[in-house]
Amino acid sequence: MASLDLRTLLFVIFISVSLLFMVFVDVLPISPVWKILLLVVGLFFDVLAFSVRFYSYIMLPILRNKKGVVELNLDDPFIFAPSNNAIIIRDADAIFASVYIKIPIYKSATEMLDQEKEAFAKVFGNLVTVSKNPVRFTSQFYIINKDGYVDKIKDKLNESEEKFRSIELNKDAKHEEVDRAKGELTMWHNMYDNIIKTQSYSLVSYVVVTAEGGTNEEAVNLALQYADEAVAGIGAILGVTPNIVSGEEMLLFMEPDYSIPLSTITEQIKQKTLSEGGV
């Protein structure tokens, strides 16, 4: 509503200024050169008045820009609701709350017969009509964060290295024991090399619902209500049990740095630098 008022206000101001200049062009007894100059200024405000339709949100920030930086919002794009199962977003004076709902689908098209695939496509068609309020369905393909898993493999690798060294140094150790320890060490080495060099991916499907409210609590409660309706509808159509996402798990669906683990980035930059002949 506030943005609509700002848009109307800016439009009225610009079109009025433009009209004023056009009236000057028509009425003032001045030289043609001055009339053309006034015409140019008037047309500039005329085009600005039209631009208000799409760009009212940015016009005042552009006027306030410092060294080319146009600041629309310097705050975080969202905050977590106290219940931790929703996020709260402020857009001008409006308050919105969004809830994320994960849909557990584990069947692949490769496991389906043609009739099953057609039925699934029809079911998806019913799914998108689950609500009169806008609902966002997203399929997200992301790189799995394997850091915890890699650390465990590294611990195992270190353990088997220690074991191999101690067996090697033991003069009474049998040949088979040494071979077994060496084999185990090689296995963990290969597993570690394989895991850090290859990326693992995952595909997750989820739904987002948003509600507007006068206060944070009102927006969150309404969003959770929409979410419950969506959960019931999706569960009935797909025959699965969707669940509302809470806490930091939501960050995977919103923040780009969570869809690519830092360790993957570091590894790729290292490989790129090596391949380019860097230090």
Cα dist from 26 to 16, 19, 21, 46, 73, whole Å: 15, 10, 9, 16, 43
Cα dist from 54 to 51, 89, 116, 211, whole Å: 6, 22, 45, 24
Q: Using the 8-state DSSP alphabet, how is residue 261 labeled?
A: -
Residues 60-99 close enough to bind other proteins by CB under 8 A? 61-62, 65, 68-78, 87, 89, 91, 96-98
Output 8 or 83, the one with its CB closest to other proteins. 8
125 binds other proteins (CB under 8 A): yes
Size of the site for other proteins (CB under 8 A): 92
CB contact at 8 A, 221 and 86 = no
Contact range with other proteins by CB under 8 A, out of 177-185, 188-196, 202-210, 241-249? 202-210
Among the listed residues 8, 83, 84, 133, the single contact to other proteins using CB under 8 A: 133
Residues 207-226 close enough to bind other proteins by CB under 8 A? 208-212
Residue 228 Cβ, how far from other proteins at the closest point, in Å? Answer: 16
Contact range with other proteins by CB under 8 A, out of 14-22, 147-155, 157-165, 182-190? 14-22
Output 240 or 260, the one with its CB closest to other proteins. 260
> What residues are paired with 143 via a beta bridge?
201
Q: Using the 8-state DSSP alphabet, how is residue 129 labeled?
A: T
d(CA 142, CA 258): 9
Output 8 or 241, the one with its CB closest to other proteins. 8
d(CA 226, CA 132): 10
The mark string for 23-42 relative to other proteins (x by CB under 8 A, - otherwise) is: x-xxx----xx-xx--xx-x
Among the listed residues 83, 84, 138, 243, the single contact to other proteins using CB under 8 A: 138
Contact range with other proteins by CB under 8 A, out of 22-30, 152-160, 166-174, 178-186? 22-30
Nearest to 191 by CA among 158, 228, 153: 153
CB contact at 8 A, 1 and 93 = yes
Output 93 or 114, the one with its CB closest to other proteins. 114
